[in-house]
């Protein structure tokens, strides 16, 4: 953290005399990280809808690819990219044409928080990036301290229905489950996002199901599993749970509270 603070102080001084860096984000979670760091991108990807200001920005990427020519015309100082969703070939094309690209692919909460802190180098408000990262780190540590002694509760993290997908060990979602005293029943999968069957889920006897969605979707999921499996279905805002950005800590906070309601009353 000391090195981030020192770099932040240097950048604060430099920012007084230089124009704000021009940043483009190519995924919604990268847009959220940029805004958290005090950066207003000059362009973003489709589905960049948080914070509200992001909805007003030009979109230069979607599921079909990225607009290379338009990005070149915008003359960014840096493009923030995501290996899990941006086409490697087009990104390499940008790099060959002289565009600086920073890959941000956090697999853990610590990596996500470190990425936020590192964005201070592109922020006109570097101190905001440092402060935001520190706040997230404190939230993570508070949850870890409060829930780490809980007896692990077997959970099934469900994405989709037909087919069924889940998250395994090397994902932020799995870390959120562990942080809250849960035990991911598919953490031992050899792939990060395995497709699983109904029979496989039932055989592992989860005591709760976690989904990205709302209470109405939770009710539908509960019906889907009956009568073989009658367990609580915890619905968490889908963007909080699926995007590798700062709101992942909101997902963690809600999951912890829903898994251990008795702990809330003892705080």
Same domain, 154 and 224: yes
pLDDT band at residue 150, thresholds of 50, 70 and 90? confident
Mean pLDDT, the chain, rounded, equals 92
pLDDT at 151: 87
Same domain, 164 and 261: yes
pLDDT band at residue 242, thresholds of 50, 70 and 90? very high
What's the CATH code of the domain at 260?
3.40.50.1980
* Average confidence (pLDDT) over 26-50: 98
75: alpha, beta or left? (left if phi > 0; alpha if psi -120 to 50): left
* Average confidence (pLDDT) over 172-195: 95
Same domain, 185 and 79: no
Same domain, 6 and 133: yes
Q: How many domains are there within the chain?
A: 2
* Average confidence (pLDDT) over 101-124: 96
d(CA 194, CA 197): 10
pLDDT at 266: 47
Same domain, 107 and 168: no
What residues are paired with 154 via a beta bridge?
183
Same domain, 191 and 233: yes
Q: What percent of the chain has pLDDT over 70?
A: 91
pLDDT at 148: 81
Residues 6+ apart with CB under 8 A from 164: 158, 195, 196, 197, 198, 201
Same domain, 73 and 104: yes
As annotated, the binding site for cyanocob(III)alamin includes 47
Cα–Cα distance list, 29 to 59, 104, 241, 243 (Å)? 14, 10, 11, 5
Same domain, 237 and 122: no
Residue 258 domain-assigned?
A: yes
As annotated, the binding site includes 47
Domain with 199, as residue range(s), is 150-265
Same domain, 71 and 174: no
pLDDT band at residue 265, thresholds of 50, 70 and 90? very low
Same domain, 13 and 120: yes
d(CA 122, CA 119): 6
């Amino acid at each position: 953290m000391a090195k981030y603070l020192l770099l932040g102080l240097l950048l604060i001084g430099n920012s007084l005399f230089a124009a704000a860096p021009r940043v483009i984000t190519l995924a919604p979670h990268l847009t959220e990280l940029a805004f958290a760091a005090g950066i207003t991108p000059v362009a973003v990807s489709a589905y960049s809808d948080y914070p509200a200001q992001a909805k007003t920005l030009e979109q230069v990427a979607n599921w079909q690819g990225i607009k290379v020519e338009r990005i070149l015309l915008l003359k960014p100082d840096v493009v923030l990219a995501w290996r899990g969703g941006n086409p490697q070939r087009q990104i390499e094309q940008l790099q060959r044409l002289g565009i600086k690209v920073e890959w941000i692919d956090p697999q853990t909460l610590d990596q996500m928080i470190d990425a936020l802190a590192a964005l201070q180098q592109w922020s006109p408000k570097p101190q905001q990036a440092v402060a935001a990262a520190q706040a997230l780190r404190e939230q993570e540590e508070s949850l870890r301290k409060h829930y780490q002694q809980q007896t692990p509760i077997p959970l099934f993290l469900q994405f989709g229905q037909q087919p069924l997908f889940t998250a395994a060990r090397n994902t932020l979602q799995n870390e959120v489950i562990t942080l809250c005293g849960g035990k991911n029943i598919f953490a031992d999968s050899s792939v990060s996002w395995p497709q699983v069957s109904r029979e496989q889920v039932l055989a592992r006897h989860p005591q709760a199901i976690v989904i990205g969605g709302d209470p109405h979707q939770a009710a539908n999921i509960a019906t889907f599993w009956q009568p073989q499996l009658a367990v609580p279905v915890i619905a968490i805002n889908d963007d909080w749970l699926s995007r590798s950005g700062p709101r992942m800590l909101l997902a963690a906070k809600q999951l912890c509270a829903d898994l251990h309601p008795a702990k809330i009353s003892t705080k």
